[in-house]
């Protein structure tokens, strides 16, 4: 028996043991939460990243700890609003690491809960309470701040990192081509600071997101926009100053929050979100499929890297769309996109399935934090596109190129040699720059892919090609800006996308629907079996593996020669 066969046998034995234990002990604490009593208060703790769907993490099966998932958060808030057992809501917010579109969705659902008249308190009692955390907090009707905790509300900044100086020190030459001037995905390698076009698009994007932040927070705090803008520019604030300026409602500790609800509801019966979400369901009635398209786009199957990062496989997402298309019980499809883009070929594979699906039933795209470049490519042929105002989208452009690491090899005393059957055989060699003839070949490829991209946008969004070209050029826009340009049809969250899908499928607005989520979450058995077959933890090619820096640099573009990817890595805080 080989080592691989022995490993598979051990894993299957473990799976069998787990199945027997689950069958004989059905009331494990991590499979069923405590009962929800009357006069309960839902306690929702938000921190770190928020996912679109549950990743296949084996620890969650045994330890009961699961990542935060956006639709579960929103569904729990919505259900608690009408759940007679739930008398109030507490949101504990620590430092968050997620995009502004997801934060906006949570903020809006908190505002909806607030309208129910049930008390809602946001408790800011952790380090790192900055713009993003405060934005979510303003969805509650009260914000409590720990008396010794400063409130780090201040003006926004957008920050990008550039590696050209490091590459120069390593004698590595970045050799890239792009269409067009705003397609700045490779600027982190080729530049040391913003180019004029790069600065222009970042400035425009930041202004849009900041403007929405000012408008929504000032409205939630019942404060004039001008007054809140003035306060933001003066931040950050000591706790007492935050209270005096009405940025928070009370300074207090966690035990005082509990006392508040004891007085308000007559008791303190907390129910944790991790328990409450077990009572959620996906509704009943006509079926609408939500297909998740998350992560960098690559050819082949969807995977999770060893760090838990999701990778969107063109074949996998296409298969999910095809499954929903051929299922007669599914009346409409919502494609939920959260992607910076990636392979133009894999993007086209997905787009083709969107096109085929809409010939049989409505297809509505719902954009999350990112739907840029390839993320927009897979969206452009849908019947309708619904984006969050804070979505980063468009980036209609492409690039290609490579890293020439011959200088680094020489610095390290490494030498290579080769034989080739022709000049273009070395086109993606990491030991030389592109020759003039190879440059022409690369440019021709880029021109064709860019033409396909812009023509697809023109056809899908019913825009003149000249208009598309004027707003393309690789430039990113916020969802709010994209709506004004005709690149998206409506502004709203996932709920709005479902409403639009119902309209197109002629389902009455007041009729409930069953949401069918694809891909289906992996069970523990699926997870362990996939691990045995080497599928789930496979890396993103050279991007996610433990290969050396040299190998990753040299393989950066070779596997996907033409990329439709977000034009820069940007942090907005």
- Residue 309's pLDDT band (boundaries 50, 70, 90)? confident
Give the SS3 label for residue 386: strand
What is the tens place of the pLDDT at every residue in 446-485?
999 999 999 999 999 999 999 999 999 999 999 999 999 9
Same domain, residue pair 541 and 479: yes
**pLDDT tops 60 at residue 10:** no
Tokens of 236: 């950050």
**CA–CA separation, 80 vs 41, rounded Å?**
9
User: Which helix H or strand E contains 550, and what residues bound it?
Assistant: helix 549-554
Same domain, residue pair 193 and 300: no
DSSP structural state of residue 126: S
Helices (H), 378-475: 406-412, 436-461, 465-471
**pLDDT tops 60 at residue 22:** no
Same domain, residue pair 269 and 401: no
**pLDDT tops 70 at residue 256:** yes
User: How many other C-beta atoms can be found within 10 angstroms of the C-beta atom of residue 245?
Assistant: 18
Tokens of 420: 């080739």
Average pLDDT on 362-387 reads 97
In-domain check, residue 349: yes
Same domain, residue pair 27 and 42: no
CA atoms within 13 A on the CB side of 34: 9
Task: Decide: pTM greater than 0.85.
Answer: yes
Same domain, residue pair 134 and 249: yes
- Residue 12's pLDDT band (boundaries 50, 70, 90)? low
- Give the domain extent around 180: 158-202
Same domain, residue pair 386 and 314: yes
Same domain, residue pair 329 and 478: yes
Same domain, residue pair 410 and 533: yes
In-domain check, residue 221: no
Same domain, residue pair 270 and 308: no
Query: Mean pLDDT of all residues in the chain?
Result: 87
What is the tens place of the pLDDT at every residue in 310-357?
899 999 999 999 999 999 999 999 999 999 999 999 999 999 999 999
Same domain, residue pair 138 and 239: yes
In-domain check, residue 229: no
**pLDDT tops 50 at residue 549:** no
In-domain check, residue 432: yes
**CA–CA separation, 409 vs 433, rounded Å?**
14
Q: What is the pLDDT of residue 541?
A: 37
Contact present, 392 and 362 (Cβ < 8 Å): no
Q: Which of 548, 540, 34, 38 is nearest to 312 (CA)?
A: 540
Same domain, residue pair 166 and 135: no
CATH number at residue 518: 3.90.226.10
Higher pLDDT, 571 or 431: 431
In-domain check, residue 218: no
Rounded to 5 degrees, φ, ψ at 421 are: -90, -5
**pLDDT tops 50 at residue 437:** yes
Number of domains forming the structure of the chain? 4
Q: Which residues are catalytic?
A: 183, 373
Same domain, residue pair 396 and 511: yes
Q: What is the pLDDT of residue 169?
A: 96
In-domain check, residue 174: yes
Question: Is the CA virtual torsion 325, 384, 494, 210 positive or negative?
Answer: positive
**pLDDT tops 90 at residue 3:** no
Q: Which of 520, 565, 247, 281 is nearest to 396 (CA)?
A: 565
What is the tens place of the pLDDT at every residue in 166-192?
999 999 999 999 998 898 888 999 999
In-domain check, residue 375: yes
From residue 328, how far is each of 179, 323, 333, 420, 507 by CA, in Å? 41, 10, 12, 54, 15
Contact present, 44 and 78 (Cβ < 8 Å): no
In-domain check, residue 573: no
**CA–CA separation, 374 vs 214, rounded Å?**
30
**pLDDT tops 70 at residue 33:** no
């Amino acid at each position: 028996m080989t080592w691989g066969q022995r490993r598979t046998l051990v894993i299957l034995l473990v799976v069998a043991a787990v199945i027997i234990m689950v069958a004989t002990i059905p009331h494990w604490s991590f499979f069923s939460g405590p009962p929800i009593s009357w006069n309960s208060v839902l306690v929702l703790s938000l921190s770190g990243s928020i996912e679109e769907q549950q990743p296949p993490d084996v620890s969650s099966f045994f330890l009961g700890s699961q990542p935060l998932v956006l639709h579960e958060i929103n569904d729990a808030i919505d259900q608690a609003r009408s759940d007679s057992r739930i008398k109030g809501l507490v949101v504990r917010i620590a430092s968050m690491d997620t995009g502004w579109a997801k934060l906006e969705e949570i903020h809006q659902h908190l505002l909806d809960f607030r309208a129910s008249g049930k008390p809602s308190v946001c408790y800011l009692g952790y380090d790192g309470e900055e713009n993003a955390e405060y934005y979510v907090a303003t969805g509650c009707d009260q914000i409590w701040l720990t008396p010794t905790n400063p409130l780090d509300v201040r003006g926004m900044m957008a920050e990008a990192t550039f590696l050209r100086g490091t590459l120069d020190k390593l004698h590595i030459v970045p050799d890239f081509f792009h269409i067009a001037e705003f397609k700045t995905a490779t600027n982190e390698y080729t530049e040391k600071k913003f180019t004029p076009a790069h600065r222009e698009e970042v400035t425009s994007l930041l202004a849009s997101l900041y403007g929405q932040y000012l408008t929504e927070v000032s409205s939630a705090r019942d404060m004039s926009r001008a007054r809140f803008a003035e306060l933001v520019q003066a931040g950050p604030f000591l706790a007492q100053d935050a209270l005096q300026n009405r940025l928070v409602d009370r300074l207090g500790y966690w035990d005082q929050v509990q006392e508040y609800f004891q007085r308000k509801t007559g008791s303190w019966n907390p129910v944790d979100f991790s328990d409450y979400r077990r009572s959620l369901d996906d509704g009943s009635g006509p079926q609408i499929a939500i297909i998740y398209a998350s992560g960098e786009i690559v050819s082949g199957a969807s995977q999770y890297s060893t760090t838990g990062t999701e990778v969107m496989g063109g074949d996998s997402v296409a298969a999910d769309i095809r499954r929903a298309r051929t299922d007669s019980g599914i009346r409409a499809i919502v494609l939920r996109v959260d992607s910076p883009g990636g392979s133009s070929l894999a993007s086209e594979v997905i787009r083709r399935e969107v096109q085929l699906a809409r010939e049989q039933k409505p297809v509505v795209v719902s954009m999350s934090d990112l739907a840029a470049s390839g993320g927009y490519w897979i969206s452009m042929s849908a019947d309708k596109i619904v984006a969050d105002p804070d979505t980063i989208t468009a980036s209609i452009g492409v690039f290609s190129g490579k890293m020439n690491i011959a200088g680094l090899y020489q610095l390290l005393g490494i030498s290579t040699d080769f034989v080739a059957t022709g000049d273009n055989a070395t086109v993606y060699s990491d030991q030389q720059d592109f020759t003039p003839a190879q440059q022409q070949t690369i440019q021709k490829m880029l021109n064709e892919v860019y033409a396909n991209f812009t023509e697809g946008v023109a056809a899908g969004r019913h825009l003149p090609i000249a208009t598309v070209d004027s707003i393309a050029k690789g430039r990113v826009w916020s969802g709010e800006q994209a709506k004004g340009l005709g690149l998206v049809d409506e502004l709203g969250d996932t709920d709005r996308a479902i409403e639009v899908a119902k309209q197109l499928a002629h389902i009455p607005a007041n009729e409930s629907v069953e949401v069918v989520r694809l891909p289906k979450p992996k069970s523990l058995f699926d997870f362990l079996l996939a691990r045995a077959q080497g599928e789930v933890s496979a890396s993103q090619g050279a991007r996610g593996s433990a290969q050396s820096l040299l190998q990753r640099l040299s393989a950066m573009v070779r596997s996907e020669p033409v990329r439709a990817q977000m034009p820069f890595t940007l942090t907005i805080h």
